[in-house]
Structure 1
C-alpha cells in the first residue's frame, strides 16, 4: 500500500501516538531531551571519559601516584570540556560561556577571591586544632609517602595542578551541567523560578555528595560533602558564574590536602600527598574528623565570606541563575 493510500485519520493517529510516547523523553517546545535525560546523558559521557577510559589507558603506566592522579584529572578536564561544548551545542542548546565559564578579568578576580576565602578559612580550621591541643605539627615540607618518588617542590606543583583540574571539571559538571539543567527541569507552572533553582541546587548537591560517598565513613559524614555541594552551588546560584565555585573548590582541595594537611586525619587517603604542614590529630573524632564539627563550621564560614563578597561586589545577594530556557543563538 502506498503512503498516499493510507487514510489521513490513521496517519494522524500514528503521529499523535508517537508524540505521546515521546512526551517523557522529548520537550517539543524546547526541541531537546527533557532535563533528566540531559543530565543522565551528560553524566554517562563524563563518567566514561573521566573514570573508565583513564583507568584503561593508564592501567600499565608506572609513575608516582601523584603523577597518575594528574594524568587522570587532566583527561577528566578534557573530557568534561568536550562534553560540555558538544553536548551543549547539539543537545543542551547552550554555549560553554552560558554555563558560567566565561573567562575574563572579572571572572579571574572572582575565582581568585574564592580561592583566597577557602585558603584563609581552612587555615582557621588548623589554627583551631592547634590551639585546642587536638593536633600538633609532626612534619614541615613533607613529600609524603615514599611511593610518591618525587622531590617536595615538584610533588607540590603536581598536586596544585591536579587540584585545579578537579575544581574545573567537577564544577563544570555538577554546577554547570547538572544544576542549570535541573533548575530548568523543575521550572513548572506550579513551581516558582526561585523554587526551581533551589530544587536544582538540592539535586546537584545530593549528586555531589553521592559521588564522594567513598570518602565518607558514615551517613552523617556523607552530609559533609552534601553541605559542601550546597555551598558551592549557592555561590553559582547567586553569581550565575563558575568563577567563585571553581576558586573555592580548587583551594579547598589544595589547602585541605597539600597546605594544612587536614586530610591527614584519614591517613589512607593522604599517605602519598605532599604537604607544607603535616599535623598529627589526637582530638575527638567528632571535632577533628574530615567531617568533624570544626570542618563543618569552616564550610559555614566559607559560605558566609563568599556571600559577603558577592554582597559587596554586586550590591545585593539574590538568585541570578535563571531556570528559564532560552535557545542558543548561533
Structure 2
C-alpha cells in the first residue's frame, strides 16, 4: 500500500536552496543582458565598437593632450618640434597597441600587420617609391600645362627658428615616417581590423564585413583630417586616401605598403614637390626641395583638386599592380575569421 504524498515544507533547506539558485540565475541573466552590448561572451572581450573607441580615446589623449604639455613651451624649429611630437605619439600608439593586443583584442601584435622582416621592408620601400613617383608626376602636370612654376629650389622656408634646409628635410623625413607608422597602426591595424570583425553580421558575408570595415576606417580617417579640409570635396579627398591605404592593407594583411605610401606621400607632398604650397596658410613656411607657385584654377591645383585626385587613383592602381605581381595574384588577405580570441 503506497504512502500518501506529504506536502513539502516551503521552509525546508532543499526548497530554500532551490529558491536561492533561481534568484542567482535571474541576477546572472540580468547582468548578461545588461552587459551584452558591451561584452562578447563568446570571444571573452569587449565588443568591436568599444575596442575601437577605447583605443581611439587613449591615442587621442596621448597624441593631442600630452605633446603640447611636454613640448608646447619649447623654442624648437617646427621640423624638430614635429618630429619630437610624433616620436612621442608613436610610443603612445605602440604602447596602446601592445596593451590592446594582449589584454583587450586577444590577439598577437603582429596581427595588426607589423610582422616586420625583409619582405615587409621591401613592400614598405615599394610603397614609398610609388608615392614619390606619382606625386612627382602630379607636379609635372601642373608645370606642363602652365598652372604652376618653380619659384625656388632647396628653399628653407620662412618659419621662425628654421633649420638649414638639409637638416630641416631630414627632420621632416623622420616626422612623416613616424606619422605614417602611428596613423596606419591606428586606422588600419586597430580600427579596420576590429571594424571588420564587429561587422560580421548574419546578412553580411565575410568579404562584405571587410569592405564595411574599410569604409568605416576610411570615414574616420577623413573626419580626423577635417581641419585640413576646407569643403566637403576636400573631406572626400581624405576619405579617398583612406580607402587607398586601407585597400593596400586588406590585400596584403600587412601595414608595410600603407606605411610606405603614407609616409612618402606626406613627405613628397609637403617637402619635396611643394604641392601643399597652394594653401595660403602653409605657403613658404616649411622647407622644401622644390617650391612651386600655383596660378591655375583651384578645381585643378587645390590639395583636393582633380590633379591630386587623379594622383591618388594612380597610386591605388600601381599599388594593386605591385601587390598582384609580388603575391602572384590579387585577393582579400585580411580575414575577420582569423582573429585570435
| Alpha carbons 1:135, 1:279 under 8 Å: kept | yes
TM-fit CA distance, 1:71: 1.0
TM-fit CA distance, 1:323: 1.1
How far, CA to CA, are the matches of 2:27 and 2:159 in structure 1? 68
TM-fit CA distance, 1:65: 1.6
1:108 and 2:121 matched: yes
1:195 is matched with 208
Q: CA-to-partner distance for each residue in 1:26-82, whole Å, 9 max, x for gaps?
A: 000000000000000000000011111111111211111221111110111000011
| Alpha carbons 1:134, 1:288 under 8 Å: kept | yes
2:149 is matched with 136
User: Match for 1:218 among 193, 210, 231?
Assistant: 231
1:299 is matched with 312
| Alpha carbons 2:222, 2:236 under 8 Å: kept | yes
Instruction: Name whichever of 146-155 and 157-166 sits farther off.
Output: 146-155
1:252 is matched with 265
User: Match for 1:267 among 251, 268, 280?
Assistant: 280
TM-fit CA distance, 1:270: 4.8
Matched residue pairs, number?
Answer: 326
How far, CA to CA, are the matches of 1:156 and 1:327 in structure 2? 41
Q: What is the alpha-carbon root mean square deviation over aligned residues? A: 1.3
How far, CA to CA, are the matches of 1:326 and 1:130 in structure 2? 48
* SS of 1:47 mapped into structure 2: helix
| Alpha carbons 1:36, 1:185 under 8 Å: kept | yes
How far, CA to CA, are the matches of 1:15 and 1:193 in structure 2? 33
Instruction: Name whichever of 220-229 and 143-152 sits farther off.
Output: 143-152
| Alpha carbons 2:159, 2:286 under 8 Å: kept | no
Larger radius of gyration: 2
How far, CA to CA, are the matches of 2:132 and 2:53 in structure 1? 34
Q: CA-to-partner distance for each residue in 1:211-263, whole Å, 9 max, x for gaps?
A: 00000110111100000000000000000000000000000000000100000
1:18 is matched with 31
How far, CA to CA, are the matches of 1:85 and 1:325 in structure 2? 18
2:6 is matched with none
* SS of 1:278 mapped into structure 2: strand
| Alpha carbons 1:264, 1:278 under 8 Å: kept | yes
> After TM superposition, what 4+ stretches of structure 1 lie above 4 angstroms from structure 2?
3-6
1:284 and 2:300 matched: no
User: Match for 2:169 among 152, 156, 161?
Assistant: 156
| Alpha carbons 1:111, 1:244 under 8 Å: kept | yes
1:94 and 1:269, CA in 2 relative to 1: closer, same or farther beyond 3 A?
farther
How far, CA to CA, are the matches of 2:91 and 2:253 in structure 1? 23
How far, CA to CA, are the matches of 2:145 and 2:259 in structure 1? 31
TM-fit CA distance, 1:5: 9.1
1:314 is matched with 327
| Alpha carbons 2:148, 2:292 under 8 Å: kept | yes
1:206 and 2:219 matched: yes
TM-fit CA distance, 1:271: 4.0
Residue ranges of structure 2 left out of the alignment (5+ in a row): 1-15
How far, CA to CA, are the matches of 2:89 and 2:224 in structure 1? 15
Instruction: Name whichever of 42-51 and 266-275 sits farther off.
Output: 266-275
* SS of 1:279 mapped into structure 2: strand
User: Match for 2:80 among 67, 75, 83?
Assistant: 67
Residue ranges of structure 1 left out of the alignment (5+ in a row): none
